[in-house]
């Protein structure tokens, strides 16, 4: 094999193992701001903001709802990164266009902690503890702030739609639940509880699908676990199994590059972002981080 043949092969190999493209970003949230940062800058230990969203003064968002976004706790890209679902423990929920930030839908759910897009332009919100919380709440995007179904789930914290299995996974204080869609083509849709799995320990927190696998990543007060959706079994995360108070995992769907947020004791938030492979801690000055999510450039 001559050098002219070898060089293209080496370049192709390097491209196939390259990190996330520069147009990908990492979404972060914690207090009133949701913002995107450059992963390439993070790799150099720097924080470079690429995009920012705040509820205050936002056109299309009722003032009474905007006031409920003081502590954002999820920022989930949907529809190939063209929109972002946002929730706040203050009760605010919104669907916004990316990058314009225009508000397309909003609602209030007490202590909202996560949100997921479901088939048929519907969303489900996980509402954590509170007088009117501890439940899952279903909405239609055509009807702002008009719940169409709800069901109890103590300390509901995370929701993930599983398209191959046509199932919704939801995490509460001490259990992981699987739901199916019921009467979905009617005007009275609901979610049907199919099974329940006790968590390895209390304090269910973040719930994320691990790309390219049967696993869900599950964080609790004391552990980070992987849950096999086929066998129904939990096992410790190989790198993070002993980590306490991990608030979020973000796993790149192509490269596997992983960032996570671990609370600074005794707070529920962190002043830094952490990564695996290589392990590093990146200070994010002036911020109080809670969730991290990959925003993938689907134009590639």
Separation between Cα atoms, residue 156 and residue 168, nearest integer Å: 13
3-state DSSP assignment of residue 31: coil
* R_g of the chain, CA atoms, integer Å: 19
Predicted model pTM: 0.92
Percent share of the chain, pLDDT over 90:
89
Separation between Cα atoms, residue 206 and residue 286, nearest integer Å: 24
| CATH fold group of domain 22-295 | Methylamine Dehydrogenase; Chain H (2.130.10)
- Tens digit of pLDDT for each residue in 63-74? 999 999 999 999
- Asked if residues 134 and 127 have their Cβ atoms less than 8 Å apart, the reply is yes
Separation between Cα atoms, residue 239 and residue 237, nearest integer Å: 6
What are the extents of the domains in the chain? Answer: 22-295
Structure token pair of residue 92: 């605010």
- Asked if residues 242 and 223 have their Cβ atoms less than 8 Å apart, the reply is yes
The whole-chain average pLDDT of the chain stands at: 92
Separation between Cα atoms, residue 199 and residue 203, nearest integer Å: 9
- Tens digit of pLDDT for each residue in 259-299? 999 999 999 999 999 999 899 999 999 999 999 999 998 76
């Amino acid at each position: 094999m001559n050098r002219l043949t070898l060089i293209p092969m080496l370049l192709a190999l390097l491209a196939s193992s390259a990190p996330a493209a520069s147009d990908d970003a990492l979404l972060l949230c914690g207090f009133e701001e949701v913002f995107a940062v450059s992963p390439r800058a993070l790799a150099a230990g720097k924080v470079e903001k690429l995009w920012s969203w705040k509820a205050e003064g936002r056109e299309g968002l009722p003032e009474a709802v905007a006031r409920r976004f003081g502590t954002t706790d999820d920022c989930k890209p949907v529809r190939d990164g063209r929109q972002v679902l946002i929730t706040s423990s203050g009760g605010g929920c919104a669907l916004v266009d990316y990058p314009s930030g225009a508000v397309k839908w909003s609602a209030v759910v007490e202590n909202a902690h996560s949100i997921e897009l479901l088939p048929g332009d519907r969303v489900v919100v996980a509402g954590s503890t509170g007088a009117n919380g501890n439940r899952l709440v279903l909405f239609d995007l055509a009807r702002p702030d008009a719940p169409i179904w709800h069901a109890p789930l103590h300390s509901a914290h995370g929701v993930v739609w599983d398209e191959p299995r046509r199932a919704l996974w939801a995490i509460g204080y001490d259990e992981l639940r699987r739901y199916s869609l019921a009467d979905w083509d009617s005007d009275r849709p609901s979610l049907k509880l199919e099974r329940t799995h006790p968590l390895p320990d209390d304090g269910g927190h973040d719930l994320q699908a691990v790309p390219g696998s049967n696993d869900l990543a599950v964080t609790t007060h004391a552990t980070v676990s992987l849950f096999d959706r086929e066998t129904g079994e939990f096992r410790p995360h190989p790198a993070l199994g002993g980590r306490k108070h991990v608030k979020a995992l973000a796993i790149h769907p192509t490269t596997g590059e992983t960032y996570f947020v671990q609370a600074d004791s005794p707070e529920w938030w962190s002043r830094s972002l952490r990564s695996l492979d290589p392990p590093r801690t990146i200070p994010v000055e002036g911020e109080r981080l809670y969730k991290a999510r990959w925003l993938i450039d689907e134009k590639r």
